[in-house]
Chains A and B, each alone.
Chain A
Amino acid sequence: MADSHESDLIDLRAGRDASFFDLLSIDQLTKKDLGLIFDLARGFKKAKTAKLSLCKGRSQVNAFFESSTRTMASFDLAAKNLSMDTTSIGSASSSTKKGESFLDTVETLGAYNVRVVVIRSAESGVPEMVSSHVGASVVNAGDGWHEHPTQGLLDALTMLDHFGTKDLSGRVIAVVGDIMHSRVFGSLVRIAKKLGATVRVAAPETLIPASVESFGVTRYHDVEEALKGADVVYALRVQEERGAKGFIPTLREYSKSFGISQIRFALAKPGAILMHPGPVIRDIDVHSALVSRHPQSRILEQVENGMAVRKAVLWLLSERYDGKKKSYTNL
């Protein structure tokens, strides 16, 4: 069974390679790259959890400098499914906490000589900094407030497969919540604009970054206005600590003013879908009844698509048909 999935996937790939060596930002991706990743992700979805040997003999380090459960599990499972050896550097055990200089951490990652380094960091730009100094392909698994490209890819795949279209032109995506601190938004807005969607953001002014309009989006302070006629309602998590830091008075008030309730969701287009990157704070970001059991919720499908997209990316980065090597400089 695994063999037939494998040959299907190899046929699907048809000798194609990605234009990039590291996946740091959606900005890097060409239309061709997107098509290739989505094709392969759909193939991986068909193969479900069958153990594949596509990346056998390769290894991957999951360097998660910021704690993460879901994304790390997803990357780790995806790699293992492809028969890669993986190891993880968790935030608690990471040496940066022990006073090791960032520079030494980067050098160590480089010296592992692995094929793929997956990086999650609390600070923006860390994957990009590391990528220019290691031979491994770096995959950004979320950096600070910047980007989370595989999340953007899985979000786009979820939308495309729902609408059954090649792009998102004519679609309206309303993103609600903590836009400013969201790397999910960072990748979502880039990929949505690449695919031709209209993007609205709705949040208190304190949670919207400067010049957000330059992404080509419209800002709303009234969530109901933003939801009207939307094809996708995308809720982002608002963290408790934002209240402590004065971005919002309380989660209670946030929930009342921006939380996605059934009544508010009904303002979107009939058949609109609800998405959320997780973890959801039920009844704060999104009304509990909408989260997983609502027929229009795509939250669990996002998780499934995440695994498929990550397999596609890991395969493309760890096995190149064109034999090209990434260039980098030692520190």
Chain B
Amino acid sequence: MTTLLIKRGRIVDPASRRDMAGDILVADGKIKKIAKRITESADEVIDAKGLIVAPGLVDLHVHLREPGREDKETIETGSKAAIAGGVTSVVAMPNTNPVADNQSVIEYVLATSKKLDLINVFPAGAVTKGEGGQTLSEMRELKLAGAVAVTDDGADVADRGLLKKAMEYAKTHDLLMMAHGENAAITDGGAMHEGWVSTRLGLPGIPDLAEDLAVRANVMLAKSTGARLHLAHLSTADAVAALAEAKRAGFKNITGEVAVQHAALTDEECEGYNTNAKMYPPLRSRDRVRAVVKAIKSGAVDALATDHAPHIEPEKLQPFVDAARGTVGLETSFAAMYTYLVKPKHLTLAQGLALMTYKPAAIIRKNKGTLAVGADADIAIFDIKKEWTVDPAKFQSKGKNSVFAGKRLTGKAVHTIVAGKVKMRSGTVL
């Protein structure tokens, strides 16, 4: 029996409504004991004095790129990036090459991550074959292979007849659908949020409507079919309103996430044609960001994710309209949440952590994101006093395309533990 003792930390576990100074004893990968003071000896001791001891973060939206685009990221580098950010579980998006529209890719991702033994990787499968939006993938096979959800992320299923059938079929097999809310005909080559900044920069805009129409359509179909629907990366006032309304009307089958950057930054990040600020949904104007933050505060939003999307440098060193969409996020998500939501007192630390731990875990029905006795010992230990400047050159991720590059953030993971094993000690990924 291997044991680990985390001493003198401030234990914040929103799932157990715990916020106390104390010690945690881990044995054989599980939380064994939590108390003000634990005197038992352990194989390994971490002194967490002055630090926050939290459940390892659960990120529902991560692009690990493997198989196929190992130049952008691998399961290994993505997992190490997660560890560096205190993230211990991720949902891996299926838009790999080949697309995860069959059990082999799901099995490959699971086997590779198991062999690496770094973090928990929960793969998502594709809704349609090749994410082509034409024919349904074999969702039951995907589920049996271990897929926790299906999504055509990167695109919506534009054919609403097929989307309806996809939801009915997913419901048949009790499989979660994740929706990338984008009406591509409205996006129509748009490169950033449509508004004063896009007009000033002369860049084609993406109106809110591109997201609103797609989110509303997905929500209506989920209401009608009863399928479990998770709305990915919401960024507009109407999109979060659609989620809030569904919740108020009692639709427990509908959940939604916000990517941290959409609650933190505005379209002004695109100034100077900064392609690291190019993503979908686009960073929105300040009033939209306010609406999204308000929705998060109100409890309408179930999770904060990253939409970690690594790209290689030549894909970003392009004219803005041609540059790849996406920002990395695994190594900055806690800090961004803490800096932009907790420090300005929009959320308490516990509320912010809830959105990044047990709440997202519940959406994929995994018993993760808690420090309850008996739970898997996935633990992240944060220094919330640490101020640092984001330097992508120091990232574990192959993707250096961070919209937070150069920003001063507060809060950083110091130690990360997965299944009782220390994966990062004092800021060094082992």
B318 at the binding interface (Cβ < 8 Å): yes
* The one of A125, A209, A211, A331 that contacts B320, using a Cβ cutoff of 8 Å: A125
A254 at the binding interface (Cβ < 8 Å): no
Which stretch (A139-147, A161-169, A219-227, A310-318) binds chain B? A139-147
Contact A128 B203 (CB under 8 A): no
The answer for the CA separation of A209 and B194 in the assembled complex, in Å, is 9
Contact A214 B199 (CB under 8 A): yes
Binding site for B on A (CB under 8 A): 101-103, 106, 121, 123-126, 128-129, 143-147, 183, 186, 209-212, 214-215, 331
Chain A interface helix/strand/loop/mixed: mixed
The answer for the CA separation of A210 and B272 in the assembled complex, in Å, is 19
Min CB–CB distance A217 → chain B (angstroms): 11
Question: Known contacts being A121-B319, A123-B322, is A103 close to B314, with CB within 8 Å?
Answer: yes
Question: Known contacts being A125-B273, A129-B273, A145-B204, is A209 close to B199, with CB within 8 Å?
Answer: yes
The residue in chain B whose Cβ has the minimal distance to the Cβ of A144 is B202
Contact B202 A186 (CB under 8 A): yes
Question: Ordered nearest first, which 4 A-B pairs have the shortest CB separation?
Answer: A146-B202, A125-B273, A123-B319, A145-B202
B313 at the binding interface (Cβ < 8 Å): yes
Cβ–Cβ < 8 Å partners of B272 in chain A: 128
19 pairs of residues in contact across A and B, judged by CB atoms under 8 Å? A101-B314, A102-B314, A103-B314, A123-B322, A124-B202, A128-B273, A129-B273, A129-B319, A143-B202, A144-B202, A144-B203, A145-B204, A186-B202, A209-B199, A210-B194, A210-B199, A210-B207, A211-B199, A215-B199
Q: List B375-418 residues whose CB lies under 8 Å from chain A.
A: none
B22 at the binding interface (Cβ < 8 Å): no
The answer for the CA separation of A101 and B323 in the assembled complex, in Å, is 12
Cβ–Cβ < 8 Å partners of A106 in chain B: 317
B158 at the binding interface (Cβ < 8 Å): no
The answer for the CA separation of A124 and B205 in the assembled complex, in Å, is 12
Contact A146 B319 (CB under 8 A): no
The residue in chain A whose Cβ has the minimal distance to the Cβ of B207 is A210
The residue in chain B whose Cβ has the minimal distance to the Cβ of A185 is B202
The answer for the CA separation of A129 and B273 in the assembled complex, in Å, is 7
Cβ–Cβ < 8 Å partners of A128 in chain B: 272-273
The answer for the CA separation of A144 and B318 in the assembled complex, in Å, is 14
The answer for the CA separation of A124 and B200 in the assembled complex, in Å, is 10
Cβ–Cβ < 8 Å partners of A146 in chain B: 201-203
Question: Known contacts being A124-B273, A125-B273, A145-B204, is A102 close to B318, with CB within 8 Å?
Answer: yes
Contact B273 A102 (CB under 8 A): no
* The one of B204, B207, B317 that contacts A102, using a Cβ cutoff of 8 Å: B317
Contact A123 B199 (CB under 8 A): no
The answer for the CA separation of A123 and B179 in the assembled complex, in Å, is 31
Contact A124 B201 (CB under 8 A): yes
The answer for the CA separation of A91 and B273 in the assembled complex, in Å, is 22
Contact A103 B317 (CB under 8 A): yes
**Contact mask for chain B residues 305-319; partner A; CB cutoff 8 A; 1 contact, 0 none:** 000000001100111
B128 at the binding interface (Cβ < 8 Å): no
Contact A123 B201 (CB under 8 A): no
B146 at the binding interface (Cβ < 8 Å): no
Cβ–Cβ < 8 Å partners of B194 in chain A: 210
Cβ–Cβ < 8 Å partners of A211 in chain B: 195-196, 199
**Contact mask for chain B residues 193-215; partner A; CB cutoff 8 A; 1 contact, 0 none:** 01110111111110100000000
Q: List B309-346 residues whose CB lies under 8 Å from chain A.
A: 313-314, 317-322
Min CB–CB distance A146 → chain B (angstroms): 3
Cβ–Cβ < 8 Å partners of B317 in chain A: 101-103, 106, 129, 331
* The one of A101, A147, A331 that contacts B202, using a Cβ cutoff of 8 Å: A147
Min CB–CB distance B365 → chain A (angstroms): 42
The answer for the CA separation of A161 and B86 in the assembled complex, in Å, is 65
Min CB–CB distance B83 → chain A (angstroms): 31
Contact B198 A144 (CB under 8 A): no
The residue in chain B whose Cβ has the minimal distance to the Cβ of A27 is B200
Min CB–CB distance B341 → chain A (angstroms): 28
Cβ–Cβ < 8 Å partners of B195 in chain A: 210-211
Min CB–CB distance B174 → chain A (angstroms): 42
The answer for the CA separation of A123 and B321 in the assembled complex, in Å, is 7
The answer for the CA separation of A329 and B241 in the assembled complex, in Å, is 45
Q: Supply 16 further A-B pairs (C-beta < 8 A) apart from A124-B319, A145-B202.
A: A102-B317, A103-B314, A123-B319, A124-B273, A125-B202, A125-B273, A129-B273, A144-B321, A145-B203, A146-B203, A209-B198, A210-B198, A210-B199, A211-B195, A211-B196, A331-B317
The answer for the CA separation of A101 and B201 in the assembled complex, in Å, is 23
The residue in chain B whose Cβ has the minimal distance to the Cβ of A190 is B200
Min CB–CB distance A145 → chain B (angstroms): 4
